[in-house]
Amino acid sequence: MTRDRNLDIAKAQKDIAEHIGVGADGLVFNFEQGPAGRTKLHLITINPRHNQSFLFHSTEGSDKLDALRTMLQYVRTYKERESSYTIQWTMRGENQLQTSYFHARNVLDALDKLYYDRDPNSIVVFSVILNPIT
């Protein structure tokens, strides 16, 4: 009997969501076809408090399942390999200060995750803080 790849994809997505601790409605698995037939996966989180989405991490694989397996490896170890940042920001024209948290290699990577798929002029950043190691 052949394996149903759709079931494998659904299981990998469920495993990723459980590892991050976000419900299925809090994640978007955005796949796009890259060069040489490679599949790129952008894992996006949706924050229900301020109704904004941010990049969690991007991976690449030979197909969707391979990209998901690479993402699963990442989510199992990202807290040990990356620093934690707190970013305070607001949408331009709004008065509500928001606080978001990111794991990233450095400050620029954290800001890239904040600005992912949006006009950089739409957000005003007030502070970026490297959180203490716990």
* Digit-coded pLDDT (tens) for 35-44: 888 999 999 9
- Position with higher pLDDT, 4 vs 100: 100
Topology (CATH level 3) of domain 1-81: Double Stranded RNA Binding Domain (3.30.160)
pLDDT at 111: 97
pLDDT at 83: 96
Residue 23 has pLDDT above 60, yes or no: yes
Domain ranges of the chain: 1-81, 83-134
Residue 15 has pLDDT above 90, yes or no: yes
How many Cα atoms are found within 13 Å in the side-chain-facing hemisphere of 57?
A: 22
Tell me what the pLDDT averaged over the chain comes to.
93
Distances (CA, A) of 72 to 16, 17, 54, 123, 125: 6, 9, 18, 30, 30
pLDDT at 1: 43
The architecture (CATH level 2) of 83-134 comes to Roll (3.10)
Residue 86 has pLDDT above 80, yes or no: yes
